[in-house]
Structure 1
Amino acid sequence: MTIQKIDTLYTAVATAENGRDGRVSSDDGQLDVTVNPPKSMGGSGAGTNPEQLFAAGYSACFQGALGVVARREKADISGSTVTARVSIGKTEAGGFGLEVELEASIPNVDAATAKDLLEKAHQVCPYSNATRGNIKVELSVV
């Protein structure tokens, strides 16, 4: 696998304190959140968690990629939504891994067009490109 170089447009910077049970903040002050494992993983659930943050980023980025593809295809995606479900679990090797489900609702196109748009957005989205071949990502249209 060849790692592609990019022409950097923007670099986000965030710093974590105390890992999954602490705080994450961005260098520009726009993000400052308490992180805590969910109750199902032994935490208090008092803050957000890395999986929620990843789901938020992936869904927003994928929605943006869907917009890029829709403009190219001259498709109406107004009123569309993308929901990301990010799961964490133990791997066979003894570590931890992630799986993602991306679910899109695109009310102004037929099911076949929606599926085609989703597949094309999956090729454009930076999160999809970063995770391809590393984690399971399932796409679905509702």
Structure 2
Amino acid sequence: MAKHHFHLQANWPGGRNDVGSIESGQLRTTISIPKEMDGPGIGTNPDEMLLGAAATCYIITLAAMLERSNVKTSSLTMNSEAIVDVKNGVFTYEQIIHRPHIVLKDTSEQLYKKVTRIAEKAESTCMISKAVKGNVIIKLEPVIDMK
């Protein structure tokens, strides 16, 4: 199997509270430290990008696994949250909580259990989840409904 290489070009003009930029494929944005961490809060930041990477990886993995299992959905949406703690001036990315909302076209107790298992397996299968395992806790709070 071939290895895939991804590249990012970063430009940072100065000190801690400056504003820089990154470009990687279709991603082109300004970056800075978030206001919550006493930065300028312009553009995005590493905390949002890690949350975005984890969320997009999870929802794409979940959608692919549902499709491969022939599970028909009416909609698949998600809200994700990151929790960063600060102790003695040190920031620690503690956890990510994914809250997928899966709306099924039809359901049964058996299908509900199957989709619950798929939602859990998608988290452990996702490449980003595997990359942060042991450093960041990833929790799931799925909601499964029928249209």
Shorter-normalised TM range: 0.7 to 0.9
**Counterparts of 1:26-41 in structure 2 under 5 Å?**
26-28=23-25, 30-38=27-35, 40-41=36-37
C-alpha RMSD over aligned residues: 2.7
Aligned mates of 1:79, 1:67 — CA distance in 2 = 10
Q: Percent identity?
A: 20
Is 2:29–2:43's contact at 8 Å kept on the other side of the alignment?
no
**Cα deviation 1:84-135 (Å, max 9, x = unaligned):** 212221358x743211111101011665343212111012211111111221
1:80 to 76, 93, 100: 76
Is 1:20–1:49's contact at 8 Å kept on the other side of the alignment?
no
Aligned mates of 2:98, 2:56 — CA distance in 1 = 11
Which structure has greater strand proportion? 2
Unaligned runs of 5+ in 2: none
1:11 to 3, 6, 15: 6
Mean CA deviation greater in 11-20 or 55-64:
11-20
- Match of 2:103, SS state, is coil
Is 1:33–1:48's contact at 8 Å kept on the other side of the alignment?
yes
TM-score w.r.t. the length of structure 2 is: 0.74
2:63 to 45, 54, 67: 67
Unaligned runs of 5+ in 1: 1-5
User: CA, structure 1 residues 27+115, in 2 after alignment: closer, same or farther (shift >3 Å)?
Assistant: closer
TM-score w.r.t. the length of structure 1 is: 0.76
Superposition deviation, residue 54 in structure 1 = 1.6
User: CA, structure 1 residues 74+29, in 2 after alignment: closer, same or farther (shift >3 Å)?
Assistant: closer
**Map of 1:3 onto structure 2:** none
Aligned mates of 2:43, 2:119 — CA distance in 1 = 31
Is 1:115–1:140's contact at 8 Å kept on the other side of the alignment?
no
